[in-house]
Amino acid sequence: MRQFILYILALFSILFLLYVYRDNSGPINDRTNLNIYASGSFISSWGPGPELKNLFEARTGIKINYIDMSDPGMTLQKVAFSTEEAGGDMLMGLDQFDIVRFADRVKWNDISAINLQIDAIKSNPYLSEMRSLDIFKNFIPYNWSAVAFVTRTDKNYQLGSLHDLLRPELRSKVAYEDPRTSSPGLQFLLWVARTFSEDQAVQFLKDINTHSHSFSPSWSTAYGLFKNKSVDVVLSYITSPIYHLVEEKDANYHALDFKEGLPLQVEFAGVLSNCRNCEAANKFIQFIQSKEAQRIIMTKNYMLPMNRSLTEGTAFDTLNRYKFLHFKMYTKDEINKWIRIWSDIRKNEG
């Protein structure tokens, strides 16, 4: 026993010395850097992160360090648990659901003074309701898109409404995302809830549950099924076909327009109140609202910029023909209620 205790003590002593003399000069501990929580797709080499970083660093001399945020909800909870300083100064990639569900657990800086998006939002009839929301004080929207079903043009499906998804020829041919783990999946759930009465919506979801190919945990998994031709239709974004057109020169994809209107997804950025380098974070918030940054986000993130004039003359301009639903913020109770309904349907059918 004595040997064991000595072994443990020796090991912890060595570990303690390593801890005391650890190198604390990493980029995340440098207060002159700007640390940004962002999603993996945002900061990957093909995402807008690297180009935004280079441009911002060249303009301001402030170094950016991205922190990979696998799940915004998880990251926000971690930040909420931190008693002093979080690792990051600001957060990008929050959608309207993340804000409602998690953002109230974290304190945010008031950035209304540097919010330059008011005019852009005023001019967009679908987003104009956003102006009156309280969240606008702490978050700025930097891109948006609509959730839609995407298919291959050669499949020649004539779908024009949510009910068409239950057509017999589409049995096991549509890939959805699970609303409990995926943002487009939650958009679909609330889209159904918004379109039908509660009883009709529950019945529709039950039918969809048995009719679908799968409910994947993430957008990328569902889109993978679509890409490898396991399914003919996938729940994605109206901007997805533009990606294939621009990056792969493949025009065989299109997003389906539904008569109910397509729900909007908006991405926001916010500055944490326990930021270390708040001034740099504010500068970055101003920067991502600039035309250059918005153009980078549009062409790399394949989402629509807040400033609509930037889409003129680009492939994104063709998206104006779609019918969108007006932006809506759901309450936490509404979201939880429909998630519960969905869980019960899955449990009973599974």
Partner 1 sequence: MLQAYFESIKYVGHLLPISLLRIFVGYFYLQQAFNDWKIHILSNSVVSDLIVDALSGDKMPYWYRIFLSEQVIPHWDVYAFILVGLQLAVGISYLIGYVVRPASVLGIILCLNYIAIGSSSQELFFRLLIACQLTFAWVGAGRCLGFDYYFYKRYRGMWW
Comparing CB distances to partner 1, the nearer of 1 and 113 is: 1
234 bridge partner residues: 150, 175
Q: Is residue 7 part of the contact set for partner 1 (CB under 8 A)?
A: yes
Q: Which of 45, 83, 132, 331 binds partner 1 (CB under 8 A)?
A: 83
Per DSSP, the three-state class of 269 is strand
**What is the Cα–Cα distance from 6 to 10, expressed in whole angstroms?**
6
Collapsed DSSP state (helix, strand, coil) of residue 95: strand
For residues 215 and 253, which CB has a smaller minimum distance to partner 1 in the complex?
215
**Nearer to partner 1 by C-beta: 161 or 343?**
343
Tokens of 213: 């190919």
Q: Does 346 bind partner 1 (CB under 8 A)?
A: no
Among 54, 77, 112, 153, binds partner 1 (CB under 8 A): 77
In sequence order, which ranges of the chain are alpha helices (DSSP H)? 2-20, 40-43, 49-60, 72-81, 96-101, 118-122, 183-195, 198-211, 219-227, 240-247, 278-288, 291-301, 332-349
Report the number of secondary-structure helices (H) and strands (E) in the chain: 13, 10
User: Is 137 within 8 Å of 111 (Cβ atoms)?
Assistant: yes
Binding of partner 1 by 22 (CB under 8 A): yes
User: Residue 17, interface with partner 1 (CB under 8 A)?
Assistant: no
* Torsional sign, CA 150, 294, 142, 83: positive
Find the binder of partner 1 among 8, 17, 118, 133 (CB under 8 A).
Answer: 8
Please check whether residue 276 is in contact with residue 36, taking contact to mean a CB–CB distance below 8 angstroms.
Answer: no
Minimum Å gap between C-beta 11 and partner 1 is 5
Sign of the alpha-carbon dihedral angle for 272, 273, 279, 282 = positive
251 belongs to the binding site for partner 1 (CB under 8 A) = no
CB 130 within 8 A of CB 100: no
Listed ranges 77-85, 144-152, 204-212, 225-233: which one lies at the site for partner 1 (CB under 8 A): 77-85
Site track 30-69 with partner 1 (rule: CB under 8 A), x = hit: ----------------------------------------
Span from 52-60, 83-91, 114-122, 327-335 in contact with partner 1 (CB under 8 A) = 83-91
First to last CA, the chain: 52
Minimum Å gap between C-beta 75 and partner 1 is 9
19 scored as a contact of partner 1 (CB under 8 A): yes
Residues from 86 through 145 that contact partner 1 (CB under 8 A):
86-87
Q: Which is nearer to partner 1, 20 or 113 (CB)?
A: 20
Q: Note whether 20 binds partner 1 by CB under 8 A.
A: no
Strand-strand pairing, 264-271 and 174-177: unpaired
What is the binding site for partner 1 (CB under 8 A)? 1, 3-4, 7-8, 11-12, 15-16, 19, 22-23, 26, 28-29, 74, 77-79, 81-83, 86-87
